[in-house]
Structure 1
Amino acid sequence: MHNAFATFEFNGSSISIYGGKRNTYGNFTLTLDGVNTTLSSFSSNNQDPPSLLFRTQMQQGFHKVTISNDGTTGIDIDSISWTSETASGVPSSDKNCSNSTSTPMPSKTYTDNMTEFSWTPNGAWNESSDSANGK
């Protein structure tokens, strides 16, 4: 669905986003901390298991990533992994929570069927058996 988006906020120093690449998928916009990047989930051959759609490193701190569907083709997001240097590594709404002198925590991964994800707008996202985890 056009204008469907998913948002993820985290306190960390790197992020990787995994999802499907299919011949029926197209471009999407990834916005990280207000900077837009156009990416593609198109592949002439359907790819399973989930493929790496995006990966980057950044300064430890609070970050926001939004993935927006640019057209009428599909997109699926199977999981998001991130590394944090905070004590717990869990997403935090405390934008002041960072500690650049600590040792990085192991990567954490949330899959699309976990309650930490919210899908907007209602009805724009659905479960698909073609996707590794469902969204």
Structure 2
Amino acid sequence: MPTAFVLLDDQSPLITYDDTWAYGYSWGDDTISYYYRGTFTVSAQPNAQSATFSLNGTGVAVYGSQRFNHGEYSVSVDGQTNTADGYSSTNAFQKALFTQSGLQQGMHSITITNTGSGNKTDFDVDFVTWEFEVGDDSQGLLSVQVQDTDPSFDYQPASAWSDSPSQAYMYNNGSAHATSVDGASVTLTFTASDVINLYGTAGPSNGFYSVSMDGVAGDTYNATRYLTSYQNIIYHANNLGPGEHKLTVTSQPQAGGQYLNIDYAEVMVLTK
């Protein structure tokens, strides 16, 4: 059967960090350009900081750097803990700090914890990936982009949404929809698909949002980050099965000026 993968930048709202993780930025680290998309999220307080995410798949990898001030860390997969050391006398970037394959296709929970000590207390996340299987051996996957302006996106109420967000040129195809209204929602209807990636932004002007798929309530995510990051995956699902599906995303700001920004969707369709 086809095997596909998803890549989440460290800024994706699908990764949840404890409050004491910090954003890596260019005026704080002159090696920032060596990281994927020029960002990373760093922990400098061992045993007090964890990052978590969930996946539906068969394999997972966590990428970050190995540096002179990096130490031990652990990665737990469904409660089974693996330990490793991120120290290196010379800097190494976009390194696979943890990989695991051969998982049964299904939901899995991942927890990353900084366990360093002494003068080796740092650990950073650059991006994570996971693999998943869909369909059968006779099928392939075709990827189709659906822009935010496509009529398959239904924004409700229409008056709560703007189609002229700031920095529009940073979005895919130069367009996006945005709302700061609590309870405003967008529903994407798509057919005969097995995988969906929804893209948006994470940043200081973004907030909480909830998702539901085919009427079943899902998780709530927090898109608030230190700096704005565009074209991030803000929702992913796979193995949806054939037929029509409806993904609904609802804005749930916790303060004024917190937006939900919708950029585009990537729909993957099984082919014969």
Which TM-score tier does this pair reach, normalised by the shorter chain?
0.5 to 0.7
Which stretches in structure 2 are left out of the alignment for 5+ residues?
1-44, 135-193, 198-210, 214-228, 235-272
The percent identity for this pair of structures is 33
Within 5 A, what are the aligned runs for 1:1-135? 1-2=45-46, 3-48=48-93, 50-57=94-101, 58-72=103-117, 73-86=121-134, 87-88=194-195, 114=232, 116=234
Q: Which has the higher helix share?
A: 2
Cα-Cα RMSD: 2.4
- Contact 1:31–1:67 (Cα < 8 Å) also in 2: yes
Deviating above 2 A after TM superposition, structure 1's stretches of 4 or more consecutive aligned residues are 113-116
What is the one-letter code of the residue matched to 2:83? T
What is the one-letter code of the residue matched to 1:75? F
User: Matches of 2:95 and 2:108 in 1, distance apart?
Assistant: 22
- Contact 1:16–1:80 (Cα < 8 Å) also in 2: yes
SS of match in other structure, 2:195: coil
- Contact 1:83–1:89 (Cα < 8 Å) also in 2: no
User: Matches of 2:132 and 2:74 in 1, distance apart?
Assistant: 24
Q: Structure 1 residues 52 and 89, CA, compared in 2 at 3 Å: closer, same or farther?
A: farther
Q: Structure 1 residues 29 and 89, CA, compared in 2 at 3 Å: closer, same or farther?
A: farther
Give the structure-2-normalised TM-score. 0.32
| Max Rg structure | 2
User: Matches of 1:81 and 1:93 in 2, distance apart?
Assistant: 23
What is the one-letter code of the residue matched to 1:55? T
SS of match in other structure, 1:54: strand
User: Matches of 1:32 and 1:89 in 2, distance apart?
Assistant: 24
Q: Structure 1 residues 89 and 44, CA, compared in 2 at 3 Å: closer, same or farther?
A: farther
- Contact 1:12–1:89 (Cα < 8 Å) also in 2: no
Give the structure-1-normalised TM-score. 0.63
Higher relative contact order (Cα pairs below 8 Å, separated by 6+ residues): 1
